[in-house]
Amino acid sequence: MSHEPLLLGIDAGGTSTRAVLTDSRGECLGYGVGGRGNPISAGPERAADGVMEAIAGALQTAGRSLADIAVVTPAMAGSRASGDHTWLRARLGQHGFDGRLVFESDLLAAYFSGSASPFGYALVSGTGACVVRVRDGRIDGTGDGLGWLLGDRGSGFWIGEAVARAVAQDLDRTGPATAMTDPVLAHYGLVSTGVVREGRTDVLEGLVEALYSRPPIELAALAPFAFAQPDPVADGILRTAGEHLADTLAAVLSGPGPLVIGGSVLSRSGPVRDAFLARLGDAADGLDVLAVGDGAIGAAFLAVRAAGGEPDATTLETLTRTIARFR
């Protein structure tokens, strides 16, 4: 059996987790998927469960155990702000791990999933939205990523909130009619009975109650209704989302380079991307736009670096090719 160090890169997300078992050359030896892996959004216990589930899948594929692993590199949102990592270290130790545990940013993992260049940008717009500038392989500039209350402009949450507001204004007759109204009402199981109390319809009252009784972040589930069918109100929301994302990128833009895009909002063609590119104008000409599905490849890339390696374009190509065998 080879004595070459084995490494684990973990893409620990708010909804699912991916684990990549690799060697120092970037050869993927195992791949696993687990549940929610971020302790901020899922809580420490549930996050540890999700990470360990993904790790178990990756190790089982290769017939290895955590005792064989030299470095574990979880990439997740808020990794730097949350300095206490005992929630994961303890669980890893219970299964024989005594190597190095090195946390990295999920945005840096997204970047290195698409590019090995030491300089460039990553823009992730899924439920939230954030942009980073990477210089010398590290993040040295950040735009937005402020969460649903203060920012995340152009994100799935931002779009979903705009959809909810547009539908409420349609029902309240304070805004234009929109084709999004019926599917949003159906989403919440609401049907008008024609009853009006104090000048307000029962279906609007039902929508208000449904929206305020749920966590605000669940508004992101309404975003797909803006993409579903041509509608002037929906198109306006999507164009504004694209402009917001462009403005966030412009805040950290300092020259040409690769732009790695993650998340579902900007990855598809249509009004968001069209408005994004139009808003950037000539600045878009110097950007090499690269779309990625998740940060698993980049997490493994960062694990190689954490182990003392110097991963490059060849490492990225090897990881991309060999991980694809397990997807």
Query: pLDDT category, 1, cuts 50, 70, 90?
Result: very low
- pLDDT, mean of residues 4-20: 92
Tokens 């040295």 sit on residue: 140
- pLDDT, mean of residues 3-28: 92
Q: Which superfamily, per CATH, for 6-102+295-323?
A: ATPase, nucleotide binding domain (3.30.420.40)
Query: pLDDT category, 24, cuts 50, 70, 90?
Result: very high
Res. 81: pLDDT tops 50: no
Average confidence score pLDDT of the chain: 92
Q: What is the share, in percent, of the chain residues with pLDDT greater than 70?
A: 98
- pLDDT, mean of residues 164-171: 97
Largest alpha-carbon pair distance within the chain? 77
Query: pLDDT category, 3, cuts 50, 70, 90?
Result: low
- What pTM, to 2 d.p., does this model score? 0.90
Res. 60: pLDDT tops 50: yes
Distance between CA atoms of 303 and 319, rounded to whole angstroms?
12
Of the two residues 79 and 296, the one the predictor is more confident about is: 296
Res. 58: pLDDT tops 70: yes
| Same fold flag, 6-102+295-323 and 115-293 | yes
Res. 264: pLDDT tops 90: no
The token duo for 240 is 């504004």
How far, in whole angstroms, is CA 219 from its chain's centroid? 16
In the prediction, which pLDDT does 2 show? 53
Topology of domain 115-293 in CATH is Nucleotidyltransferase; domain 5 (3.30.420)
Of the two residues 192 and 206, the one the predictor is more confident about is: 206
Res. 76: pLDDT tops 80: yes
Q: Give bridge partners of residue 31 from the DSSP assignment.
A: 20
Distance between CA atoms of 150 and 142, rounded to whole angstroms?
15
- pLDDT, mean of residues 151-174: 96
Domain ranges of the chain: 6-102+295-323, 115-293
Contact in structure between 20 and 319 (CB atoms under 8 Å): yes
